[in-house]
Chains A and B, each alone.
Chain A
Amino acid sequence: MSALLIQNAQIACEENDTLTPADVLVENGIISKIAKGVEAPAGAKVVDASGKVLLPGMFDTHIHMREPGQEAKETIQSGTEAAINGGVTGVVLMPNTAPAIDSAAMVRTIYDIAKRDSRIPVYTSGCITKGREGKELAGIDGMLQLGVKMLTDDGDAVPDMSLLKRAMEYASEFDCFFASHCEVLDLSGPRALNEGVVSHRLGIVGSPACSEEICMDRDIRLAHAAGARLHIQHVSSKLGMETIRWWKSMGAKLSAEVSPHHLLFNEEDIGNYDTHYKMNPPLRTAEDNKALLEGLKEGVFDIIATDHAPHTPFEKAQDFVTSPNGITGLETALVSLYHHFIKAGEFGWGLIVKRYSAEPRRMMSLEPVPIEEGGAAEFLLFDPEGQTTFTSEFMRSKSQNTPFLDKTLDGSIDLVVLGDAVLLER
């Protein structure tokens, strides 16, 4: 593509919710001009973006691609295509593959696969402990040498506090941070359902929110003592949000994420054992939804991340107890956040750009990709008047374990551009 001219777009930025009307000219993958009435160079591709919002590409730091080991659920190829379908132009993978990403060799394997199969940048996190077994430290230095920034045993907490503290002390001098899946298994048991009215009705011993909150507090205290930087993953409860707020006020080196599903759904949505709402940490109450939304608006949560967790239809068609935790999110996040929050006036586009594009990149020591002259082209065009129906045909993930399956939401992603490539055009 020699040149691309986006005409009459409304440009979003992270600083505020104001949308700036302008034409955007991309030449050789660089945004060469932003102005009104830009002339299209000869041979340029011209896109009429009237009424549409131009956003920097989203960046998702919590992705399970399942490769290697569980390619029937997802591969780096299918998962990154799903990302593009959802307007996401960069992802960070979780290391709970089989084998786990716990060594330089495994990191290199992931990057080799990504180089071959992905059209967007793929980064990976690395394990804290070998094989995520919580017994021995993983090959931390080797992974960091290859650019890994985030260390996590996501999917599980590190149960041994002493080991976790040592890992934090060991790595605190390096350019990396820890990410915590917070859960005290002694309290929560293996079944992802909030302890409450729904768990009682369905006859499943539930997992109390305190299981997450105690572990969160534990990990923050350990990181604080060790001088390490900590990121709390997928917060699900009001008290969890307040825990983070308090520790931030105490000056802890702390960041936190919230997922779209913990903002949008609660335990009541599970209805009669709908496994599309089974995830860990579990969906909690409507009161928690409200608190998490406030936390996002107030900046208690630094980033939005989906915890994209594909599973095959066969697995999710089992009974609630047996079926695995997690739902996909890459393809539905932006549209669902627009449909439920931006359109409803809860927050504006600035929050999305900041929390789902700029801050996640900064967290990974990457530069944000604002739409500005001289910057690399990495953006998407969103049509607020459009609609998206999340059919099997629409979705590019190998798995369709999402509550949005076959539902129609307002808003559509019409164009995704990365450098001089149009990754998606509808």
Chain B
Amino acid sequence: MTTRKDLLDIESLSREEIEHLLDQAGPFKELFTRSVKKVPALKGKSVLTLFYEPSTRTLSSFEVAAKRLSADVTTFDVPHSSVVKGESVKDTIDTLQSMRTDYIIVRNSMSGLPLVIARETKASVINAGDGAHAHPTQALLDGFTFREVFPEMQRKKILIVGDILHSRVARSTSTLMRKLGVEVAWLGPGSLVPKHGPRDIKRFTNYDEAMQWGPDVVYLLRIQMERQSAPYFPSLREYTKLYGVTPERFKRLEDQGTYIMHPGPVNRGVELCDAVMDYQRCLINQQVENGIAARMAVLYWLKPESDQ
């Protein structure tokens, strides 16, 4: 399997590359059960995290992944850096280039920014979420988690519920699932389910109709009020009533044996009720653990130009 310099999205990966990464994540996950959880695969390599948006889970997941591969990790302190003093991203890139880091893990609210950084640096750039565009490592961990439950993914069904319009997770995970043969449907308010997405994705605006479709997994998105410059639905209460996993709907999911996924962090009482968190088929914690394995696989697979 050939390597790539950067991981910017799922769109540009072939099915074979995705499967290779999922295969790679397996042995890394096994490592977590050992007393020594590190391997020397990236010893001497430097990893820099550049998070322009607040993040706890993804940032720590990447840090743990890099450290378990024995890389040196530096967190670029964006809130206290010259970025907040008005330095442009281009100038920041020049600074990063001078640091001769091997990997840059970047999160930014601007769609496409990781591509700009990738073009300008020799480091391998991993997109840890850019605007509403892509979140490829989230998609890979989702794919890995899905495959653990359903080793044969072909023609399985996943229903993604919530704010599809603003969700990079929805875009990347939908793309990855489709590439692996999973049928994808979206459910949400008409104002948050884009009309212009791929045609092979079903669109529902009614919960009951969506459940009749018979999803094997319901993937709930976090309602991201901070990304919405304008109200897309009247109230959280109304959203929960129409699209949330309420206790009544949870009962139906249990009865149908449907699995639950969520990229976190969860808005309890909004997209799902408390009981879901203790549900045997709730995969949320498994996703978190798999996130580290999937990110290790990505770091191990990419090939920085600084290597050559």
Contacts and interface: CB of A to CB of B under 8 A. Distances in A.
Given A195-B196, A202-B111, A273-B115, A317 B131 contact: no
A367 interface: no
A321 B131 contact: yes
A200 B89 contact: no
Nearest to A195: B196
B269 to A, nearest CB: 28
Nearest to B119: A317
B147 to A, nearest CB: 25
Nearest to A186: B230
Size band of the interface chain A makes with B: 20 to 34
B134 A203 contact: yes
A203 B132 CA distance: 4
Contact of B133 (A195, A197, A202, A314): A202
Nearest to A319: B113
A145 interface: no
Nearest to B113: A319
Interface string B146-180: 00000000000000000001101001000000000
A264 interface: no
Interface string A171-201: 0000000000000000001000001110111
Contacts, number: 62
Interface in B1-59: 11
Contact of A203 (B88, B89, B90, B171): B171
A145 B284 CA distance: 71
Nearest to A200: B196
Contact of A321 (B90, B110, B134, B168): B110
B48 to A, nearest CB: 18
B125 to A, nearest CB: 13
Interface in B178-204: 194, 196-197
B133 A203 contact: yes
Interface in B189-239: 194, 196-197, 229
Contacts of A197: 196
A200 B110 CA distance: 14
Nearest to A196: B196
A416 B115 CA distance: 42
A272 interface: yes
A47 to B, nearest CB: 45
B133 A204 contact: yes
B168 A319 contact: no
A201 B11 contact: yes
Given A202-B111, A203-B111, A319 B197 contact: no
Interface of A: 189, 195-197, 199-205, 272-273, 314, 317-322
16 contacts: A195-B196, A199-B196, A200-B171, A201-B11, A203-B131, A203-B171, A204-B132, A204-B133, A318-B90, A318-B116, A319-B108, A319-B115, A320-B110, A320-B111, A321-B111, A321-B112
Interface of B: 11, 88-90, 108, 110-113, 115-116, 130-134, 165-166, 168, 171, 194, 196-197, 229
Given A203-B130, A203-B134, A204-B112, 14 more contacts: A189-B229, A200-B171, A200-B196, A201-B11, A203-B132, A204-B133, A272-B115, A273-B115, A318-B90, A319-B111, A319-B116, A321-B110, A321-B111, A321-B113
8 closest A-B pairs by beta carbon, nearest first, are: A203-B133, A273-B112, A203-B132, A319-B113, A203-B111, A200-B196, A321-B110, A320-B112
